Amino acid sequence: MENPPGDSSEHPNFQNNPQVLEDQAKRNERKQRTSINGQPLLTEETMEILLNDLEQKEKTISSLQEQVKQLNKQLQIKTDAINSIRLHCVNVISKKDEELKQARMQIGNGFPGRKESHGGKNKTRTGQTHTSQVSERPSITYLLPPSKPSHSKSISFAFLNEQIEKEELQQSLHSLRESSLHHSTEMQQMKTTLLTVRQELDRVRQEHQSTEKEYYRVEMALRKNTELVLEQQQKLAETTERRNSLAILTDDQKREIRLLETNVEELKNKLDRLHIDFDSLQLQKRHLEHLVQSDAEKYELLLSEYNEMKKNYKDLFIRYMDLKSDNDRLQRQSWRELRC
> How do residues 24-34 score in pLDDT, each as one tens digit?
665 565 555 44
Establish if 283 belongs to a structural domain: yes
Residue range 9-20: mean pLDDT, rounded: 50
23 compared with 267, residue with greater pLDDT:
267
Centroid of chain to Cα 45: 29
70 compared with 130, residue with greater pLDDT:
70
pLDDT at 266: 92
pLDDT at 12: 43
Establish if 339 belongs to a structural domain: no
Residue 248: pLDDT band with limits 50, 70, 90: very high
pLDDT at 238: 92
pTM for this entry = 0.26
pLDDT at 23: 60
Establish if 50 belongs to a structural domain: yes
CA distance 330 to 333: 5
pLDDT at 174: 72
| Lowest-confidence segment of 33-37, 72-76, 234-238, 297-301 by average pLDDT | 33-37
Establish if 11 belongs to a structural domain: no
Establish if 210 belongs to a structural domain: yes
Burial tier of 274 (Cβ tally within 10 Å: 0-12, 13-18, 19+):
buried
Residue range 232-246: mean pLDDT, rounded: 90
pLDDT at 229: 86
CA distance 280 to 257: 34
330 compared with 26, residue with greater pLDDT:
330
Establish if 27 belongs to a structural domain: yes
Q: Give the total number of structural domains in the chain.
A: 1
Does position 117 have pLDDT exceeding 50, yes or no? no
Establish if 336 belongs to a structural domain: no
Contact 275, 104 (CB under 8 A): no
CA distance 170 to 158: 18
Pairing between β-strand 35-36 and β-strand 39-40 as defined by DSSP bridges:
antiparallel
Residue 183: pLDDT band with limits 50, 70, 90: low
Establish if 12 belongs to a structural domain: no
Residue range 150-162: mean pLDDT, rounded: 62
Say which DSSP state 131 is in. H
Residues in CB range of 277: below 8 A, 6 or more apart:
2
Domain extent, residue 318, equals 17-329
Does position 270 have pLDDT exceeding 50, yes or no? yes
CA distance 115 to 174: 15
Residue range 114-141: mean pLDDT, rounded: 43
Rg (CA), the chain: 71
